[in-house]
Structure 1
Amino acid sequence: MTYQEVIDYLFHQFPQYQKIGGKAFKPGLDNVRKLCSYLEDPQNELKFIHVAGTNGKGSVCSMLASIFKEAGYKVGLFTSPHLVDFSERIRINGEAISQYEIIQFVEKHKAHFDQSGASFFEWSLALALHHFKEGKVDVVVLETGLGGRLDATNIVTPILSVITSIGIDHTQYLGNTLREIAHEKAGIIKEKTPVVTTITNPVEAVEVVNKKADEQQAPIHLAPADDHYTCDLLGAYQRVNKGVVLKSLEVLIQSGVSVKEECIVNGLKKVAKNAGLRGRWEILKDSPKVIADIGHNYDGVKELMTQLRLEKCKQLRIVWGMVADKEIDRIVELLPIDAKYYLSSPQIQRALKQEELCPHFQGIFDYEYFPTILQAYENALKDSGSDDLIFVGGSTFVVAEIISDFF
C-alpha cells in the first residue's frame, strides 16, 4: 500500500470524530485495552504526563515536550487533531512518525484491526504507544481526545496528571453542565499521582476536581499564570498555559526529574520548532497581516477576541467557519461588529453549512458567504490593503485548510 492508500483506508474504515462527529465517538476503555493487549501492552513500559482540559491542552503538551527535548530527554508527543497530515499526531523529539512506519504498522495489523471494532482515535493511540515503545522514549506527553474518564488515553498510569481548564464544549458527550464536564476531565486523576491545574472557577468545577483528588489521595497543585518567561506562542492566553507548564515542571523536579532553568527558557522559546505546533495565534503573513488561531469554543473565542481588539488595523477582515455542537449564538455574540466577514464551511461533515451559519450573521454583520474556505481567504486577501488585518478562525478545520493549501 502507498501512504495515501493507507490514509484513505484509515479514514474510511475508522471514521474520525473530528470529521463526522458522534458516529465515530466510542467512549470507554474496553476496545483500546484489547488493542494494547494485542500489541503486548506498550503503555506499561512508558512514563506519561497525561493532559486533559477544555482549552490549552495542545499548547501545554507542546511546551512540555519542547522543554524536555531541550533538557536532553527523548520525548514522545501525542496530540489531536492534526492540521495537515495524520503523522503530526505522533512525534518523538518533534519529528513526526514516518510514512514508512505508518504503512508497515497498518499492513501488519490491518486484519486484526478490521475485526476490532475500534475507533479512529483508538487505532491512532495504539499506533502511537507502539511507536513510543519501539523508540524507547524517556517520557510521553499525552493529550486526551474528549473528556478524560472514558477517553482512550485513560488506560495509562501517569507520573503527573494535568487539567488545564474546564469550559462548555462537546456537551452531547461530556454533559451540559460545568459540573458534569469537570467530572469527565477529573477522571484522569489517578491514585496518589500529583495533579496540576489552573482551575480556580467556576466553583462547581473546582469542587469536582478537588473531590476527585481527595478520593484518590492525589496531591493537587494550583498553577498561577506566568508573565515572566518568553514563549514563541504569541497568544496572550498562553500566559495561563505557561503557568501550568512551570508548575508541572516544579512538581516533577521535586520528584527527581532533572530539568535545568536554561532548558525551560530555551524550550519555551522554541515550542513551534521543537514540537511542531501550529495554529495558535500564528502570524501567516505580514502585509496585510494574517493571523490564524484554532480556538473554537466559547471560552477560547472570548480570549481570542480580547486579543484581537488590541491589534491596530485600518479594516478588520475575518475568515470564519464553524462546526456543529458549539454554542453558536453565544460565540457569535463575541465577534466584533465592525469587521467584514468572509464566511464558509470547512470540508467535513460536521461543518455548519451556509443555511445553518449565515442566519446567525444576518442583519448584524457585514458578511459574504463563499463556497470554500480557500475562496473566502482569497477574497479577503484581494480586498485588503497593507494596513488591514485578516483573522482566520472559528474551527480547527478552517485553519487547517488555509495552512495546508497556502503555507
Structure 2
Amino acid sequence: MLIAGGDALAALFDPRPVTTIRWGLDRIEALLAELGRPERTFNALHIAGTNGKGSTACFAASMLEDGGTRTGLYTSPHLEDVRERFLIDGAWVEESALQSAAARVLDCETAEHCTYFELATALAFTCFAECGVEVAVVETGLGGRLDATNVLRPAGTAITPISLDHTEWLGGSPESIAKEKGGIFKPGAPACLGRIDPLPLAVLERAARRVGSPVARLGREAEVSDVEVRTDPPETRFRYVSGSRPDGLRLATGLPGRHQADNAALALLLLDGSGLPPDEDSARRGIARARLAGRFEIRPSRGGRPGCVFDIAHNPAAIAALCETVAALSAARPLIAVVGMLADKDWKKMLARLALDSDAMILTRSAAPAERRWDPSRAQEWLSRERGLESIVCRNVAEAVSRGLTLAGAGTLLVTGSATTVGEARALPELAGVRTGD
C-alpha cells in the first residue's frame, strides 16, 4: 500500500498495520473528543453491508454533489493511495488540508493507542469539518456496531445485501452478521434496507424497531424494474418507483451490472428518507456520473492489447455478481482471469464460480499482510484434484498480468480476488490504458 503525502500523513499511519482490528469504540471516542468532536459539525449518512456499500455510498454522494451540497465521501479500502479514502465533492482532499488535519490528529495524546482504521476515520472527520463539508457519506469498515465510524449521529442509515464474510469477527451466519451491521441504526434516523434474505432481514427489522428507527425497504417502499445492462457504452439502465416518487424515474449508471441498479436505488431511497432528496435532474446526473475505482472498472483495449476489467470482488456473492456482469456485457474471448485472494476468504467457492466463466485462470499472490497471505499453489492443487481444471501459478501480480496479457490476445483480462491484487495490477504501466471514471 502506498502512503502518499508529506510528513504528517506518513507519520500518522506508519508503521501501523492496515489490517489490525481491535473491537470497541472507546479509543475513537477519546480521540474525537480530544479533536473537539469534528463528526458533529456536519450531517451524515451511514452505510453498512457485505457487498455494494461502497458503490451505494458513491451514488449517494454523487447525487448530493450534483445538487450543490458540499459533500464528503469516506470509503475503504484504498487501492493504490490512501488519499482515495477521503473525497470532497468527488475529488481528493487537497494536500494542504489533508496534511493540516493529519497533523492535528497526530498531535493528540490518544492517537498513539488507535488502529490504522480509527486514525483514518478521525482524519476523515477532521478533514470534513475543516473543509466545511455539509453532508458526509460514510461507509463502515467492518461490521457496524463496533466499527469506528459508528460514532456518527446520522440523518439516515442503509444496509446493502448481506452474505458470509469476515465470519471470524462477525459470526458464522447471515443472522449474526446482520446483528452486527444493524448496530448502526439510530433513534429516529430511517433504516433503508437493500435486497436482503428473509432471516437476516428479520434481524435487521427487529434491531430497527428496538431503537426506534423507521424502516424503508427496496422491494417494498421502493422498487427497481426494467433493468437492462448495455454494452456500448457499458451501462445499466433501470426504472425507479417509490412512495415519494410515484411517477417513477428512468435512470442509468455507467457502473455495469444488475446489482448496481439496486445500489443506486438504495442510495436514492436513503436520500429521500433522510430529508436530503435530490431533484430529478440531480438524481439522474448524479447516478449517471458516479464511479468507484475497482468496481467493474473497465480499461478499453488499445494498441492490440486486451480490454481489462478490475473488480475487487472478495467473497462468493461478489464473485457471482462479477461473473453475471461479464456475461451480460459479452466480454471478448478469451477471458483470462488473474486471481489473487486472501487466505481467510472462501476461496474454493470463489474459484469454482470463476472457473465456469473464464477460459483460463492465473493464480497469484499480492503483497498482502503475512497473516492473510493466500497460497496459490495450494489453490492450483485443489482445482486440479476437485474440479479437474488446470491453472497457472505466478509468483506475483506483475508476472501474472504479463502472462495474462499474452494469453488474452485480443480478448479480455479480468483482475479480481482482493483489493490488494487489484491495486497492484491497476498501477502497472502495461495496464495504463484509459481509466474509466478516473
TM-score higher than 0.5:
yes
Indicate the residue corresponding to 2:181 in structure 1. 185
CA distance in 1, matches of 2:75, 2:164: 20
| 1:314 to 2:337 alignment | no
Of stretches 155-164 and 353-362 in structure 1, the one that deviates more from structure 2 is 353-362
CA contact (8 A) 2:46 2:138 kept: yes
CA distance in 1, matches of 2:196, 2:315: 19
State the SS of the aligned residue for 1:292: strand
Residue 269 of structure 2, aligned match among 236, 239, 247: 247
CA distance in 2, matches of 1:199, 1:216: 22
Residue 295 of structure 1, aligned match among 307, 313, 327: 313
How far the C-alpha of 1:83 sits from its partner, in A, is 1.1
CA distance in 1, matches of 2:25, 2:203: 22
In structure 2, what residue type is equivalent to 1:37? A
1:218-237 to 2 correspondences below 5 Å: 218-223=213-218, 224-225=223-224, 227-228=238-239, 229-237=251-259
Indicate the residue corresponding to 1:217 in structure 2. 212
Q: Percent identity?
A: 29
CA contact (8 A) 1:87 1:98 kept: no
State the SS of the aligned residue for 2:136: strand
CA distance in 2, matches of 1:221, 1:4: 44
In structure 2, what residue type is equivalent to 1:244? L
CA distance in 2, matches of 1:306, 1:113: 49
How far the C-alpha of 1:265 sits from its partner, in A, is 0.7
Indicate the residue corresponding to 2:71 in structure 1. 75
In structure 2, what residue type is equivalent to 1:297? N
Residue 284 of structure 2, aligned match among 241, 248, 265: 265
Question: What value does the CA root-mean-square deviation take over the aligned residues?
Answer: 2.0
Indicate the residue corresponding to 1:399 in structure 2. 422
How far the C-alpha of 1:30 sits from its partner, in A, is 0.3
Of stretches 162-171 and 397-406 in structure 1, the one that deviates more from structure 2 is 397-406
| Per-residue Cα deviation, 1:310-362 (whole angstroms, up to 9, x for no partner) | 42533221111101221122222212246211111111122313344333323
| 1:330 to 2:332 alignment | no
1:133-172 to 2 correspondences below 5 Å: 133-172=129-168
How far the C-alpha of 1:399 sits from its partner, in A, is 1.1
CA distance in 2, matches of 1:100, 1:235: 37
Scaled by the length of structure 2, the TM-score of the pair is 0.85
1:1-400 to 2 correspondences below 5 Å: 3=5, 6=8, 8-17=10-19, 24-112=20-108, 116-201=112-197, 203-223=198-218, 224-225=223-224, 227-228=238-239, 229-252=251-274, 255=275, 257-272=276-291, 277-286=292-301, 287-310=305-328, 311-337=330-356, 339-349=359-369, 350-363=372-385, 364-386=388-410, 388-400=411-423
How far the C-alpha of 1:13 sits from its partner, in A, is 3.1
In structure 2, what residue type is equivalent to 1:260? D
In structure 1, what residue type is equivalent to 2:403? N
| Per-residue Cα deviation, 1:207-253 (whole angstroms, up to 9, x for no partner) | 1001011111211001134523110112332011122122123323x
Q: Which structure carries more strand by proportion?
A: 2
CA distance in 2, matches of 1:303, 1:217: 33
CA distance in 2, matches of 1:134, 1:351: 38
In structure 1, what residue type is equivalent to 2:316? Y
CA contact (8 A) 1:193 1:218 kept: yes
State the SS of the aligned residue for 2:63: helix
Q: Which runs of 5+ in 1 are unaligned?
A: 18-23
| Per-residue Cα deviation, 1:366-387 (whole angstroms, up to 9, x for no partner) | 311111111111111122222x
How far the C-alpha of 1:281 sits from its partner, in A, is 1.1
State the SS of the aligned residue for 2:186: coil
> Which structure is higher in RCO with an 8 Å CA cutoff and minimum separation 6?
1
| Per-residue Cα deviation, 1:93-119 (whole angstroms, up to 9, x for no partner) | 012123333333444443535763100
State the SS of the aligned residue for 2:192: strand
